[in-house]
Each structure stands twice: as C-alpha cells, then as structure tokens.
Amino acid sequence: MPTRGSAGAQQIQRTIQDALASAGIRADGSATGVQKTVQTALQQAGLLASQDAIPQATPIDAATSPGTASTDGSTARLHGAEPTTRTARGTTAEHSYSNHAGTRSYMLYVPPGLDAAEAPAAPLMMMLHGCTQTPADFAAGTRMNALADAHGVIVVYPAQTARDNGRKCWNWFRSEDQARDAGEPAILAGIVDDIASRHRVDTRRVYVAGLSAGAAMAVILGRTYPDVFAAVGAHSGLPFGAATDVPGAFAAMQGRSKRPEILPDTGAQRVPTIVVHGTADHTVRSDNGSAIVADATAGNTTVAPLRAEVTATTKVNGRDCTHTAFVDAEGRVRVEHLLIAGAGHAWSGGDPSGSHTDAKGPDASALILAFCLRHRH
C-alpha cells in the first residue's frame, strides 16, 4: 500500500469519497448503516489508501487479513448486513433512434430536477445489458438509477432486439460491429447525440459501462469513439477484437481468443477503464478482463504504458478481492482492475430483482460510476 503522501494513495482515497458520494452518502454521518456497508466493501476491495490514513478501528471480520479495519472506528461487519436500499425518484421514458446503421430503442432515466430549464449540463452514463436481459431488468439489477439521482447523472439503457441477435446479445464478435461509423457502435454513439438534442448533456462527461456482451461492446465503443466516451466500465467482458465470428466468440469467452497480439495503433491514448471480473466466471473467463486491462494500459507511439501503482488483496464476505490501480506519468489513475475470487458471471453487489446479479461482493455500480465521474474529456 502507498504512503499517505503518495499520489497513488491520494487518488485511491478520492475513489472512496467519490463512491460514497455517488451512493448518496454524506460525510456528516447520515445514512450511517449504508455508509458502513459501502465503506466496508470499498475498504475490503482494496480501495483504502493506507493503514495510517484510517482512524483507529477494530477488525471487520475474523477472516480478514491483519490490519483490515472499518473506517469509522466501529466494528462494521459486512456478513449479514442488509443490502443497500436505494429508491430511484426520477422519470423514465422510452425512445427510438435510427441512422444509416439501423434502429434501436432505448430507455432513458432522468433524475429529479435535470429537466428544468436552469439545470446544469449533466453527465450521461450508457448502460449496456448482457445477453437475454432488457433495459428494465438491467436497471433493476444494477440500481444505477438511484445512484444517478445522488450524483445528477442521466442514464440511458439501449435495447438489443431478438431480431438482431436471438439471445439479445450485443454483437461484439462481428467485425462489422467493431468499427467506427458502422454497425452497432454507430447506432450507440448516435443515441448519445439523440439524447443531447433532448437534454442538457455535458458532452465532456459521457461514459459507457456494461455486463458480459454489453461490457465487450462498451470496450469497443471506447476504442472506436474515444472522442465521445470519456471512460469505460467493463464487468465480466472481453477485450477489443477478441473475435470476428460466432465460433471465435465461444473460443474467446473460454479464454482461447485468436486475436492478433498487436492491435492497430491509432496513436491516441486509451480511454480510462475500470474492469470488474470474477475468477469463477465460467461463461467469460477472467483472463478476458486481464486482456482488457493490458490493452488499456499499453503504450503506443505517443504515450508511455501505464504502471501499476497500487495492488491490494482483501476480503468481502470471504472472497479475496484484488484491486490494482494503474497510473500515468503524472500519477493520475487511468485504469483500475478489480478481480473477485469465487465470483461468477453476475453483476457484483447487484439487486436480486434483476437477472445475473450477485449481492455478495463489492458494489460494482458505485465503483464504476465513481471511477467514470473522475474522468472527462
């Protein structure tokens, strides 16, 4: 762990504050039960800066490694704790968007007050569901709307159709859907423009995150539209160019991708990226998440590769969670990697009312949103 004065420690400490803020938790101690739960999850996921930066505390769990403690001076056990309860209070509307590449509908969530004429321009988070899911299902499982209320973020959930993919997967594995101005990337980037024509969107702060096939497409959008998306969140996803056909997709999901070792170099710095993946994911093997990280941290003709600044392994509900932060030459965190031992193919910290969720683990929604909101064009 870094010392209190290091740039890496300060950045990781800001991650805690941002994640708590995005979850609607203030430093004045309000919502203390929720605060303890989220702080504990963040601390156990390896997101605390250093032990000497933590107030005197008692151990969280008998299974926790020595020195692991709560941040508020009390025993705060995650085991048996009630799930964080969030209620979205904004408005949801259905829209459809078409361009030369096709048509997709999308569900748009706007937090209270952001439709007012005097409202400031708001960040936009695009959430891409996984196979068999729907926008409503994904919104319920991630609880992203209630988090968006707390931070003033508009959220859009594009919908894949059974016509375009029988299992409603985003077609990340087709070469025609891995290029700018073509296929699904063009449609999804166009949805951003469509929303900006209806609402006050801060175009410097447009983000995309997804699960599984949605995460793979989020990575593609970060590569093909780095001028649109300021950060990417990939949960249980695959790297850019992992496959170009259906057989290749299944091979890639099992960690047998035949993509070229050297991908085309655009000369541009990679989009900031946070990767969350479980080691027991037998649908999309976790080395795919490591490959996303490798791409996001790689250097090219204009920028140096990122370096690992912080790596820590701690426990959440008995699961080892390894968190690594990668920084640039100025010490800014550009990539984060959270590897959750024993977690499967499901949204970490998700709500059971949604499909493909796992309530046992760090709150992926809060962590992804906090990471994204630290970045802008």
Does the residue 285 lie in any domain?
yes
Q: What is the pLDDT of residue 256?
A: 87
Does the residue 23 lie in any domain?
no
Mean pLDDT of 301-324: 87
Mean pLDDT of 68-90: 42
- Confidence band (pLDDT; 50, 70, 90) for 61? very low
- 243: domain CATH number is 3.40.50.1820
- Confidence band (pLDDT; 50, 70, 90) for 317? confident
Nearest to 288 by CA among 322, 321, 252, 335: 252
Does the residue 319 lie in any domain?
yes
Does the residue 65 lie in any domain?
no
> Which spans in 91-245 are helix H?
135-142, 144-151, 183-196, 213-224
Q: What is the pLDDT of residue 79?
A: 30
The kind and range of the H/E element at 50 are none
CA distances from 205 to 226, 229, 375 (A): 12, 7, 7
Average pLDDT over the chain reads: 80
Does the residue 41 lie in any domain?
no
Q: Which domain holds residue 243?
A: 91-373
- Confidence band (pLDDT; 50, 70, 90) for 261? low
CB 146 within 8 A of CB 88: yes
> Which spans in 209-286 are helix H?
213-224, 246-253
Residue 287 carries which side chain, given as an amino acid letter? D
Does the residue 7 lie in any domain?
no
Does the residue 153 lie in any domain?
yes
Q: Per the structure block, which two tokens stand in for 349? A: 């910290």
Q: What is the pLDDT of residue 17?
A: 52
Q: What is the pLDDT of residue 125?
A: 98
Mean pLDDT of 337-356: 96
Nearest to 164 by CA among 229, 101, 117: 101
Backbone dihedral angles phi then psi of residue 77, each to the nearest 5 degrees: -80, 130
Nearest to 42 by CA among 375, 368, 376, 292: 368
CB 142 within 8 A of CB 365: yes
Does the residue 84 lie in any domain?
no
Q: How many domains does the chain have?
A: 1
Q: What is the pLDDT of residue 287?
A: 95
CA distances from 90 to 5, 108, 109, 207 (A): 40, 10, 7, 19
